[in-house]
Amino acid sequence: MKAGFVLKPKNTSELKNTFLKIKNIFENKNIDVLIDSFSAKALGLLGVDFDEMCSSVDFIVALGGDGTLISVSRRAYKYDKPVLGINAGNLGFLTDINPDNIEEFLNQFLEGKYRIDKRMVIEITYQDKKLYAFNDVVISKDVISSMINIQVDTNESFLNTYRGDGLIFSTPTGSTAYNLSAGGPVVYPLTESFILTPICPHSLTQRPLVLPSNFILEAKVKEEVAKLIIDGQEIYTIEDKIVLKKAQKPTRLIHRLKRNYFDVLREKLHWGEGK
């Protein structure tokens, strides 16, 4: 069995001791470890090209925070490999394994005592490009002082024209990210739906909307230029319509059997305090 590691891109060198300790645990369990060349260079180690690594491993490990896991899941999407998140960050909505309990988890993993969550992915078509979003797609104005007008149509009919600072198209996984900050709903991550949340809308009647995942959405920006932001990590300039739909396959995340999403919400959002 082989595992491919990608480390968080910022302050990667600080993770060297943690990575080497985890690598030793993996190899003691007869799991060969590869590390992508970008992460390896920051640690002063030898690595392999990311695409080559993804092609040759059985699963991928993202060592960092939720941002690292999101980035790795998107970049590795075409290889259809399950991703394990080890939390070396702060938030940890998605990365529920800590470096201190990795050996315990690996023992369970090798006994088949784990689960794989299938998370919906958004496919974005813009001109001749196909892009993929694990968390969200944001259309944002290009000029701070002006509003943006975004017309949204579904495969059934015209939906709405949103006026304001922008519009978020979120997956259920991304519902606890930018969508939540903008006033959108928390949606159970294993459901399949689009969440449309306006950013600082001009009219208070513009409210978040949840749509079935079988809808095809078309967004047209009425201004000359706007920004398309994918997972808060990739930014494109758009001057034409974009089409969004549920991608053909989900991203697969490896989790502990006992992981409970509502426990995570209570811990991260401080629900139920004072009970």
Q: How is domain 122-246 classified at the architecture level of CATH?
A: Sandwich (2.60)
Domains of the chain, by residue range, sit at 2-120+250-269, 122-246
Determine if the pTM surpasses 0.85: yes
Query: Tens place of pLDDT for every residue, the chain, 275 residues?
Result: 999 999 998 888 889 999 999 999 999 999 999 999 999 999 999 999 999 999 999 999 999 989 999 999 999 999 999 999 999 877 678 888 888 899 999 999 999 999 999 999 999 999 888 999 999 999 998 777 688 999 999 987 999 999 999 999 999 999 999 999 999 999 999 999 999 999 999 888 899 999 999 999 999 998 777 899 999 999 999 888 999 999 999 999 999 988 788 888 888 787 877 65
* Distances, alpha carbon 86 to alpha carbons 7, 106, 159, in Å: 10, 12, 40
Token pair 């006992």 is found at 258
Two tokens at 32? 């060969």
Residues serving a catalytic function are 66
Angle of helix 102-110 relative to helix 16-28, nearest 10 degrees, comes to 30
Alpha helices in 76-218 (DSSP H): 102-110, 178-181
Which residues, other chains included, contact 120 with Cβ-Cβ below 8 Å and sequence gap of 6+? 171, 172, 173, 191, 192, 193, 213, 246, 247, 250
The reply to whether CATH 3.40.50.10330 applies to domain 2-120+250-269 is yes
Between CA 220 and CA 152 the distance in angstroms is 7
Backbone φ and ψ of 237, nearest 5°: -90, 130
